Amino acid sequence: MFNDKKVVFSGVQPSGNLTIGNYLGAIRNFSAFSDEYHCYYCVADMHAITVRQVPADLRKRTYETLALYIACGLDPQKNTLFVQSHVPAHAELGWILDCYTMFGELSRMTQFKDKSAKNADNINAGLFTYPSLMAADILLYQTELVPVGVDQKQHLELCRDIAGRFNQIYGETFVIPEGYITKEGAKIMSLQDPTKKMSKSDSNENAVVRILDSKDDIIRKFKRAVTDSGNEIVHGEDKEGITNLLNIYTRFTGKTLEEAEKEFDGKGYGEFKLAVGETCADALSPVKAEFDKLMADKAYLEAIMADGATEAYKNARRTLSKVKRKLGFTDIKR
């Protein structure tokens, strides 16, 4: 299926209904790599359990995330789509890399500090060592390129450090991956607090637009979006709310900020917010229709899971076997 192409890897946690930030900053862009790269996209269910999950909900969202991958344009014939826990090599290499990751490095991770503050009653070891497992996810497939959000850039840098450290000790083992961050609109901000990133775990539903929201809900949320006390539709550091809405509008339409500003010159905030909401809803409508169709065919999704796990395991096993030999682990024939 894939010939000798360079490798792209990314994963999305099934820990909540995905937002337009996940869509615009990551998933929608994944399909652009499909023709030139051997692409692995996983549903990162092992990462999700660093925070307590309701088992039935996690199971349901795992199917939903896979369906969203496909609905957003990822062809299973061109990409390896799989569930992380279906490939045990991720956990095996994760433990090995734990032993080559320094305590101080992990303690400096911004996301650990943020998640610890939000989950003070469950600061578990998995939450602390999460970046080592993320490194294993990437390095298992000899990944050259990682589409990554700006909030994960620190983890990718640590992954590069871990790979370099292992290579220095045992000789060339891992490819050192490079990050790919969308230059414009990489971070979509909250509709209610545009100084903060839009988060699928936000308790304020008006702050978050989800990929699977209804058209009415999407438009309602944009109508309630925070703007500012002015009346000009222009971007700027002192107009965080309007800038966020302009960024969302340009990402969905492909227009530049200057083109969008010219289009809404002289228009009121109400008219502008309605236009952004309708544009967003119209763009997501075919995604939701395809998603609903896929979710009605559980057998098809399970077949994709099985095929993806087989393909991923085949390639992950090569790297894991190499690592084990270099470490001095013994092997037996079964």
Catalytic residues: 115, 197, 200
Residue 52's closest CA among 133, 149, 119? 119
- Displacement of CA 324 from its chain's centroid (Å): 29
User: What secondary structure letter does DSSP report for 2?
Assistant: -
- Displacement of CA 257 from its chain's centroid (Å): 25
Could you give the CA distance from residue 93 to residue 99 in angstroms, rounded to a whole number?
Answer: 10
Say if residues 227 and 189 touch (Cβ distance below 8 Å). Answer: no
**Treating both helix axes as pointing N-terminal to C-terminal, what angle do 125-139 and 110-118 enclose, rounded to 10 degrees?**
140
Amino acid of residue 276: V
Pairing of strands 145-147, 79-83: unpaired
SS3 257: helix
Q: Tell me whether residue 114 is exposed, middle or buried, using C-beta atoms within 10 angstroms of its C-beta: 0 to 12, 13 to 18, 19 or more.
A: exposed
Amino acid of residue 144: E
What number of other Cβ atoms are within 10 A of residue 275's Cβ? 18
Residue 81: CB partners within 8 Å, gap ≥ 6?
41, 42, 66, 69, 70, 74, 304, 305, 308
Amino acid of residue 46: M
Residue ranges of the alpha helices (H) in the chain?
A: 20-22, 28-30, 45-48, 55-71, 89-98, 103-107, 110-118, 125-139, 153-170, 215-223, 240-253, 257-263, 269-295, 298-327
